[in-house]
Amino acid sequence: MLKLVVLISGTGSNLRALLDAIDDSRNSEQPIAAEIVAIGADTPKANLALAAERSIPTFLVQPGDYPDRAAWGDALLEEIQRWEPDVTILSGFMRLVPPRVVDALSPELLNTHPAYLPEFPGAHAVRDAIEAQVSETGATIMIVDNGVDTGPIIAQQRIPIHPEDTQESLHERIKIVERELLTETVRNLALGTINLKEIAA
């Protein structure tokens, strides 16, 4: 069974979709052999309630509780490693992870990004795509490295931008694709058909 720790900062709707997909698959012919063993957050605004609904343990590691970013990262790493995950997923975790955390976990450290990387890296990918007046953007799942959204790409898909799109409407359509890519990535990791060390090499 693939053990996952997932980190969120916001509503966690992609995480909810992943939890549902894993649960739903249990009664199918192709169960996803993965389990989310803990859900972590960097802010009390994150929707950790969705973990409580399913009796999944949570942890909250807030930067303001530590003297500096490195100390925060070390505390975050300790919480993650306590669960001995095979893979850690940043699913709407809106903070750059300090180098010591990346070095300890990558390439078994994944991120979802609401654009077709390397286009529109950073925290405002959806807004940036609309402002650039391009006709399409996308969604990407990648390995986290020490750059900003520069790691090796595992899966990505194009998504058209409609003339009437707002940031919200576009982001919702992107998330639908992100959820599919994330679920397929977890399924493939559990099956062993994706090898993160090979992709990162």
Which residues are identified as catalytic?
Answer: 113
The answer to whether 39 touches 11, Cβ cutoff 8 Å, is no
Of positions 25, 88, 91, 185, contacts ligand GAR by CB under 6 A: 91
Distances from the Cα of 74 to the Cα of 38, 69, 105, 168, 172, angstroms: 17, 9, 12, 34, 33
* Cβ nearer to ligand GAR, comparing 1 with 160: 160
Q: Does 43 bind ligand GAR (CB under 6 A)?
A: no
Rounded distance between C-alpha atoms, residue 81 and residue 38, angstroms: 10
The answer to whether 8 touches 39, Cβ cutoff 8 Å, is yes
Q: Does 176 bind ligand GAR (CB under 6 A)?
A: no
Q: Does 156 bind ligand GAR (CB under 6 A)?
A: no
Of positions 40, 73, 85, 114, contacts ligand GAR by CB under 6 A: 114
Closest to 40 measured CA to CA, from 18, 28, 27, 56: 56
* Residue number with the smallest Cβ distance to ligand GAR: 92
The contacts of residue 44 (CB under 8 Å, 6+ apart) are: 60, 62
| Residue 80 DSSP SS3 | helix
* Cβ nearer to ligand GAR, comparing 11 with 31: 11
* Cβ nearer to ligand GAR, comparing 12 with 151: 12
Rounded distance between C-alpha atoms, residue 201 and residue 198, angstroms: 5
Of positions 52, 123, 132, 176, contacts ligand GAR by CB under 6 A: 123
* Shortest CB 29 distance to ligand GAR, Å: 28
Whole-number CA gyration radius for the chain: 16
- From the list 59-67, 71-79, 89-97, 155-163, the region that binds ligand GAR by CB under 6 A is 89-97
Which residues here bind ligand GAR, judged by CB under 6 A?
Answer: 8, 10-15, 91-92, 94, 112-114, 123, 125, 174-175, 178
